[in-house]
Structure 1
Amino acid sequence: MNAPAFPGLASVLDDVGMPEALARDLLDAGRAFHARGLLAATPSFRRYDSDELGACRGSGAFPAFSITGGACALNCKHCRAGILKPMIPTGDPAAFERKAREMIASRGMRGFLLSGGSNPRNEVPFEPYLPVVARLKRDHPGLEVLVHTGLVTARRAAALKGAGVDVAMLDIIGSARTIREVYHLDRPVADFEASLVALAAEGLAVVPHIVVGLHFGRLLGEHEALDIIARTQTESAILVVLMPAYADPGFGRVDPLEAASFLAAARARLPDRRLLLGCARPHGPDRALIDVAAVLAGLDGVAYPADEAVRAARALGRPVDRQGACCGAASCARAA
């Protein structure tokens, strides 16, 4: 590992319990990317306290809204709509517009994520809200609008582009079993790739996501999802890791060492993309190890990074750039 070349790194690896062989593999995968700075994305989705970077108190500068409140027709086993609960319900489009304008005026809102639960076909019902997005973008051209799209047709992708949406985000699943058994969904893997292609064809900044451990805590289809992304013209991709707190009790815990190894594989498979570790991942010691792995493997950013990850970045000589926006928006802005 040549630890003397990176003062302070050995103590970080000890703190998170990372085996030396894994650390070597991660450093080998990320060496070509270590000259890049590390984006620390800290949007106001939630409170963030860090000894290394300070605190984020949730000022409202970059919130997340849910079109469906806390409801999701799919009720997938890995999430059970739990990820929607902290989001701000939009209400109807008129109420959403009033709320957004008030937050721009009173809280300095610079952008937002528009998300929501899916219908039984894994489609987020965003169309009624697109005229509001268009008006907000007209009156506030600098406003950054991100949308969790779910699966889309070419027509729906064109509607997002026409409204002025800045970034489209969707999960890419590479296993038909996972789509059926975890998502409760009767659609093929090909529909996920077709949606990604449709969004990219419109010239949208598209940031596909892969959920590591989506198949009941085991890896199944993640490498196929990487292949789908590699075949499509995108600037960035985001990796997240199954969160046990949201998952069905039948799910197992994702092995953090296996998740860390997948980060290295993703970096090798997508060398031409900005690759980030998103905000959804386990808490506690597993999170610290995975975050440090992301830094070593040369990922370009980490949302709400653990202090150990910040220390690892500094030990490698990677400057840390904190931005109070969703890593999907920040990754596209930095890649432009």
Structure 2
Amino acid sequence: MKSAIGIDPSSTLPISVTKSCPMNCGHCGGHYIKHMVHIDDIEKYLDRYNSFLVSGGMFPSGEIPFKPYLEKLRQLKETHDLKYNFHIGFPKNPPYELEGIADVISFDFFGDKDVLKELYGIDRTPEEILDSILPLNVKKVPHVTIGVICGKITHEPKAIDILSEYFNSIVLNIFIPTTGTKYSDCQPPLLEEVEKIFDLASKKFEKITLGCMQPKGDYRKKLQEIVSNYANFIVKPFDKNYAFDGCCAFYQ
């Protein structure tokens, strides 16, 4: 059995470059952005945080409007020695403007364009996602959400196969049924199916992380017990045995 390393993400503050999201995706419905601090207020938190997860609402084009705030983030980075993890959407072209500002770029990946289309209404092939990511001269960390389509396993094995050709680490999240969304009545993926995905990933990647997106309660406890056989890192471990602080992407 592996001895997975625990990560406490609470020392990284999630901030958003938008106050809402125009999308109404089945797994999110704009719910999570409501709990993020808007970038206009970032200065209020500089005495408590030195690392930030930067994201925001996504346009139907797949873009997140980072550009108006990049100079501000650059200046704060220089004056306060900050670290940034940019969690980007699905830009059509590589966002080169993030180079020199982002310490790491996190991105969601889908091994089937039809799955991405169903979730976001965006037409983007797996190859097109990679074409916008791979040229960037910054550390890049792929994320795959297991069971993202109403708790069902769909594109995940193919996504792992594709990503393993380019990356040696991966973050695996677990679908959470969220109140008020299209998938609110769905169930998290079956644990035996989750284990199969982690088992597959363990044969393809040097580093595997169970990310911060995990259903709560008894499911989370059983989940972590299972994936500890395969994962190198577990975010928010049930036993609160933390070895690292901040976004898991910083440690990939």
TM-score (norm 1): 0.69
The code of the aligned residue for 1:41 comes to I
Matched, 1:159 2:159: no
CA distance in 2 between counterparts of 1:280 and 1:125 reads 23
Q: How does 1:136-285 map to 2 (within 5 A)?
A: 136-141=76-81, 143-156=82-95, 158-162=96-100, 164-197=101-134, 201-232=135-166, 234-246=167-179, 247-248=181-182, 249=184, 251-270=186-205, 272=206, 274-285=207-218
Matched, 1:303 2:241: no
The code of the aligned residue for 1:322 comes to A
Q: Give 1:67 shift.
A: 1.4
Query: 57, 62, 82: which is aligned to 1:117?
Result: 57
Query: 89, 109, 118: which is aligned to 2:38?
Result: 89
CA distance in 2 between counterparts of 1:83 and 1:192 reads 23
CA distance in 1 between counterparts of 2:91 and 2:9 reads 26
Q: Give 1:73 shift.
A: 2.2
CA distance in 2 between counterparts of 1:154 and 1:235 reads 23
CA distance in 2 between counterparts of 1:282 and 1:102 reads 31
Is this contact kept in 1: 2:174–2:188, CA < 8 A? Answer: no
The code of the aligned residue for 1:229 comes to L
Indicate the percent of aligned positions where both proteins have the same amino acid: 26
CA distance in 1 between counterparts of 2:128 and 2:117 reads 13
Q: Give 1:154 shift.
A: 4.5
Distance of aligned partners of 1:281 and 1:176 in 2 relative to their CA distance in 1, 3 Å threshold: same
Indicate the SS of the match to 1:41: strand
Is this contact kept in 2: 1:263–1:293, CA < 8 A? Answer: no
Q: Give 1:235 shift.
A: 4.8
Which 4+ stretches in 1 moved above 4 angstroms?
none
The code of the aligned residue for 2:52 comes to F
CA distance in 1 between counterparts of 2:111 and 2:14 reads 27
Q: Give 1:153 shift.
A: 4.5
Kindly provide the CA deviation profile for residues 281-336 of structure 1, in whole angstroms up to 9, marking residues without a partner as x.
11112111111122112x111111123xx7xxxxxxxxx5522201112x14xxxx
CA distance in 2 between counterparts of 1:268 and 1:75 reads 35
The code of the aligned residue for 1:301 comes to F
Structure with higher Rg: it is 1
**Map of 1:77 onto structure 2:** 26
Is this contact kept in 2: 1:124–1:148, CA < 8 A? Answer: no
CA distance in 2 between counterparts of 1:301 and 1:215 reads 25
Please identify which structure carries the higher helix content.
1
CA distance in 2 between counterparts of 1:39 and 1:117 reads 31
Kindly provide the CA deviation profile for residues 122-159 of structure 1, in whole angstroms up to 9, marking residues without a partner as x.
22111111111211122133x21111111235552x11
| Residues paired across the two proteins, number | 250
CA distance in 2 between counterparts of 1:235 and 1:261 reads 19
**Map of 2:68 onto structure 1:** 128
Is this contact kept in 1: 2:54–2:84, CA < 8 A? Answer: yes
Which ranges of structure 2 fall in alignment gaps of 5 or more residues? none
